[in-house]
Chain A
C-alpha cells in the first residue's frame, strides 16, 4: 500500500520538474525572441508532451493557447513516423488543417526527446510571428475569405535535421514574410527554447528512469482529471442554453448566430455548439482545437483556476460542434481572426451558466480591437509591420466592478509601451485613455474601454483593423446594462472624420493621418438603480461616469460633489427601481 503512494510523492516531484522545465523554456523564449509581439506582448506558449501526444506541462499567457498545441504530436507523427525520428530533429508547422495549428501566424516548433535511443516525449513552443505573408501585412485580417490569403501554410516539416538547420525550409519562410529579419531572430529563439526543453526533459528521465517518469506522467493526467471531475460534480446537473452574435462575418454586414447547449451530468460537462452558424466567409472561423481551448478556459475560470493545465483535465470535458460550422471549420476556411470569436465564445458560455452559478460568472466583456500598421519607414527606407492589440474591458461580477482596460477571456497579450512604439516604428501615439461613461451600468459597473489615437508617419502607409462588439454590445447580467460598442475612426475630431468598419485591410493612409481606436467596454451586473449612490459619486469624482451619466444610467442626482438623497430617491422611485441595495 505504501509503495504506490510513495510513488505519488515521486509523481509530484516529477510534475514539479516538468513544470519547472516549461517555465524555463518560456523564460528563454520571451527573452531571446526578436519581435515585440513575443517579447513585450508574450503572445507565445510552450508545452511538453508524452509520446501519445498528451500534454503534460504547459506555460502560456493566453488561454487560447491552452490547446493550440494539442493536435501537434499526432499531426507530426502521421507524416513522420515516430521510428523515423532522430535526436536533434525539430519540426515546424502552422497549418490548422494538416499541422494541428490554430492560425497561420502561430509558428510552432516541436522536438522529440530521446533517452536511451528511444523517443520519450516531445517539447514544443508556439510563437505568434508578426508576419507570415498573405494578403495583408501582419497576416491577420477578418476579411480574408480563404486560408490561402492568410499567409504561408507550413505542414509539419523539418527545420532541424539531427541538429542541423534545414536552410531550404528557413529560406521559404523568410521569403514569404514581409519582415524576414525578425522571423529569423524569432525562429532562432524558438530553436534555443526547445534545446533547453530537450535538455531538461532528458535530465528528468535520466534521473528517475524512463519507466518511473512514464508512470508518473500517467498518474499526473489521472490526477488532473480527478480534480476536474471533482469540481464539475459540484455544479448542478441540467441543460443550459445561450445565444450570442458576431457583428458580421468579416465580409458582409450580417449577424452571425452562436449557440451553445451545456449539459452537466454528474462529473461530466458537455458543450454542444449545434445550431451555431455554418462556417463563415471571413476569417473568424474557429478550428475545433481553438473552440476546445475557449471551453477549457471557461471551465477553469468558473471552477478552479488552479486546475493543472494538462490533457487529463480536458478528459472530463466534451466539446462537440458540427463539422463545417463556425466552431469546427473545414479547409479552406480562413481562421486568422479566430481569437475574436473565441472571446465572444467566453461570453456565450458564461451567459449560459449564469443562472446556475451567478456567483462565478462575469457579465459580457469588451474584446480587443487590433490594428496593423505597415508601410515604408522614412528613417530607414525599409518596410515595417506593427501588429498591435488594444484591450477592451471585462464585465462586472456579482460583487465587483468589471476591470477597466484589460484583455479578456482567451486573449492575454500586453500592450506595447508608447515609448517603444515611437522608437521602433514611424508612428506617434497622441492619446491613450479610459473612456468615460462606457462601462455598462449595473449594481456593479462594467469595465471602461479605452481610446488610443495613433499618427502614422510612413510612406505608402496601410492599415488593417479588426474588432468585434461594434454592433452587438457585450450583454449584461441580471438587469445590468450592455457594454458600449467599439469603433475605428480616421481623422477623428476633424471635418473629414471617417468611421471605419469593424474589419478592413489594405486601407491606404497618408503620412500624418491619425487613426483612433475606441475599444468596447464590459457590461454591468445587476440593476443599476440598486447601485449604492456613494459608489456612483465615487465614479463621478474619478471621471469614470459623468454627472449626466449618473442621472441617466443610475438615477443618482448629484449636487455640490455629493449625492442629493431626496432627488435620487424620487428619481429612482419614478423609474421603479429599488433604492435599497
Chain B
C-alpha cells in the first residue's frame, strides 16, 4: 500500500463536477472535469473520481483526505424538489411563518407577490404549550394531541417535521419532549427541533430556518448516503462536506443540518483565496470573484472571512453563521442598456451562455460587458477561453454602436468605456456594503481578483477604492479545490440568554459558556476529533440595554473573572466605536453566547512552482492596440502568456496577461510582479 500522499477535492456545479487531486509533497495538481448528473449528483462524483484515479494512476488508497463541496441543498430549494414538510408549533402561532415580519415584498411594486411559505397552512399544526419569560406559569406541552397529529402527517405522507416552540432557545424541554414523541410514533420521518438547529431568539427567523432545514434533511441525507456508498466502493476515504461557514463537517452533521450548506457555493473559493493571500503575506483582503452573471465579494481579516448571521433563500431567512459573501447581479455576461430617460445601465439581466455576448455570434444582439472589453482590445479579438470559443469583434462593435453609442451620442469606444464605468460603480457599491457599511476601510485591504472577469476589471476598481495591491491567484479552479482542502472541520454553536451585565457575576457567564462548550465537546466526540486538535473560539453578542441589534465580541477561553467582564464591556465599546463611530457608558446586555469549534485535519500542500519558465519577453504572445481612458485612446500593448511568466518577473503597464480562463489587465503606470506562489501582484501608486 502506498503512503497517503494525495488529497482530493470535488466540487459539484450545475453543469460540471470539478475534481482536483493534489500531491501533498510538491503541490502538483491534476484537474478533471465531468458533466454533472442533476438527478443524483453523487453519480458524477463517483464517475469523476474513478476517471481521475485512472488517468493519474493513483490508487484510491493513496488519498488521505476527500473534501467535497455541494450545492445539492441550494439547488433543491431553487427547483422546489424538497421534502414534504410539516411544522408543529405553539398553539396560536402557526401563521408566524406566513405573516413573516408583515412587510410588503416591495414598497412600490405592488405586483410583487409574497414568497410561498415552505409549509402550507394545513400542515402547520399546533400544540398547546408555552414558555414565558416572566409573570406567568409555563404550560407543559399537551401530549394528547400528538397521536392525532401524527395520524394526519401519515395520511398526508409527510417526509419531514420541524418543531418550533416560542422561547425554545430559553427552554428546550418542550421541543425535546414533542420531538421524542413524534420520532417514536413516526420513525420514518426526518425530525428537527428549533433549539437543535438555531437556539437564538426572534421566532420568525428561527421557525423559517428550522422549517427549511427540515425540508432539506431527507434530500441531503439521501444524497450523502449515496455518496458515502460510492466512496466506499471505490475505496477512498469518507468525504468531508463544505459548509457555508467555510469549514467542513462529516456527512452525518451535514445531513442533519443541510441549511448550513446553503451558502457553501462561494465559500470554497473564498476559503482558498484567504489561504493563498495569507501565504503571500496579505492576510487582509477583499475577494472579487466575477463570473458571467454575478459578482461575489467577501472581506477577509487576518485570514478569516467575515461571517454573516442571516441570509434569505427563496425569500425566507436562514439564520446561521455563513461566510459573508455579498453578490450583485453584474458580471461578464451582463447586458448594457439605455433607459427611457437616456441613462446607461449594466445588468441585472445577463446574456448567459446562450445566446451569450454579441461577439459569440450565437444570435445575441445586446451588448454585454464582454463585448465592451473586446471593443477596447482588452480581450482577444478572435477567440476566448484559450481559443475554444471563437468570437467576432465586429459583432461586439455593432451591438455597442446600435444600442449604446448612437442613442447616447458617443463614439463606440466611449460607449464601451461607459459600460465599464457603470459596471465599476455597481461593483464599488458591492464592496462598500461589505467594508464601509461594516466599519472597515477598504484602503487597508488587498483585492484578490478571480473568476473569469475579475482580473479584467480589478485595476480600475482598486484604483477608485484606494486599494493599493491586487492579487491575481493562479486560477479559479485551483482556488475552489484549495478551499476544499485547507478548510478546517468546523461547527458553530449558539445559545441566547439575555443577561444584564450589571446584574450578573462571572459565575453566570462561566456557566453559560460551560453549557455551550459541553455541547461543543459532545460534537467533537461525535465527529471523532482527537482532543489535541480541538480548538474552541468563544464569543458573545452584546448590546446596550434597549438596543435590539447586537455586536459580536470575542471572549478569551478559560475561567472568566470579574476583570474579564470589564474587558468584555471594553471590547464591546471599542467595537461599537469602530462599527458605528460612537460608544457610551450606558448599561450593557449579553444576548447570545457563541462557540466556534474548529480542528485542522489536513495539511495544505507545499506549493512548488511546477515547471521552468521562460524569460519575460519570451512570454509575449502579441502586441495589440488596447484602449485606456487615462491615455485617451488606443496604445500598443504587449500581451503575455501567463503560463510562461516566471516567478520574479516584473511587468510595467500597459500590459495584458492572458491565460485559459481569465485575462488580467494592467493599465498604464501600474506595476505587476509574479510572486513565488503563482500569484500576479499588481501595485498601484
Contacts and interface: CB of A to CB of B under 8 A. Distances in A.
Interface in B80-118: 92-96, 98-111, 113-114
A77 interface: no
Given A2-B414, A196-B581, A379-B134, A404 B99 contact: yes
Interface in A360-410: 362, 378-379, 390-391, 394, 397, 400, 403-408
B650 interface: no
B99 A31 contact: no
B516 to A, nearest CB: 19
Interface in A32-85: 32-36, 39-40, 60-63
A354 interface: no
B149 to A, nearest CB: 15
Contacts, number: 215
Nearest to B93: A432
B648 interface: no
Contact of B109 (A35, A40, A301): A301
Interface in B461-486: none
B498 interface: yes
Chain B interface bracket (under 10, 10 to 19, 20 to 34, 35 or more): 35 or more
A417 B203 contact: yes
B408 interface: yes
A185 B580 CA distance: 12
Contacts of A295: none
A406 B582 CA distance: 35
B133 interface: yes
Given A223-B341, A430-B92, A404 B114 contact: yes
Interface stretch (B324-332, B544-552, B611-619): B544-552
A63 B546 contact: no
Nearest to A63: B107
Interface in A299-323: 300-301, 305
Contacts of B418: 6, 9
Contacts of A8: 342-344, 408
A2 B432 contact: no
A581 interface: no
Contact of B422 (A9, A362, A418, A426): A9
Contacts of A181: 546, 586
Interface string A158-197: 0000000000000000000000011001001101100110
A252 interface: no
A12 B114 CA distance: 32
B65 interface: no
Interface string A6-25: 10110011001101100110
* For the complex of A and B, 4 pairs with smallest distance between CB atoms: A431-B92, A305-B108, A391-B102, A305-B109
18 contacts: A12-B425, A17-B425, A23-B429, A23-B437, A30-B549, A185-B544, A185-B584, A192-B580, A192-B582, A223-B343, A227-B341, A305-B109, A404-B114, A415-B101, A419-B202, A422-B134, A432-B92, A450-B95
Given A391-B102, A431-B93, 19 more contacts: A6-B410, A30-B549, A32-B582, A36-B548, A185-B584, A185-B586, A188-B584, A189-B580, A230-B340, A231-B340, A394-B110, A403-B104, A404-B98, A417-B202, A422-B132, A424-B546, A541-B122, A542-B120, A542-B121
Interface of A: 1-2, 4-6, 8-9, 12-13, 16-17, 19-20, 23-24, 27-28, 30-36, 39-40, 60-63, 181-182, 185, 188-189, 191-192, 195-196, 223-224, 226-227, 230-231, 297, 300-301, 305, 362, 378-379, 390-391, 394, 397, 400, 403-408, 412-415, 417-420, 422-424, 426, 428, 430-434, 450, 453, 455, 457, 541-544
Interface of B: 92-96, 98-111, 113-114, 120-122, 132-136, 166-167, 201-205, 339-344, 408-411, 414, 418, 421-422, 425-426, 428-429, 432-433, 436-437, 498, 544, 546-549, 579-582, 584, 586
